[in-house]
Amino acid sequence: MKQDQKKHLDSERRKFIKGSLVTGVGVATATVLPGVVVATEEDSPDQPKEQKGYRLTPHILEYYKTTAS
């Protein structure tokens, strides 16, 4: 009986260690890869890129022409 119980405990320990290893690798991967995942979403060629910030519009060009005189 004691040998069977010991084998069962060894088997349970091995399962725990394997599970811990997989969890550790998953956490490490999740820590390292967020920047990569975000970059691939933003660099999608399907979506047109919008210019952010200052835009040189025809209205502003007209303003520059009036102030240059």
Q: Which residues contact 39 (CB under 8 A, 6 or more apart)?
A: none
State residue 10's pLDDT score: 83
State residue 54's pLDDT score: 85
State residue 32's pLDDT score: 74
> Can you tell me the mean pLDDT for 25-45?
66
Mean pLDDT (the chain) is: 77
Give the pLDDT band (50/70/90) at residue 9.
Answer: confident
Residues 16, 21, 24, 30: is their CA dihedral positive or negative? negative
Is residue 17 predicted with pLDDT exceeding 60?
A: yes
How would DSSP label each residue in 17-61?
HHHHHHHHHHHHHHHHSHHHHHHHHHT-TTSPPPP-S----HHHH
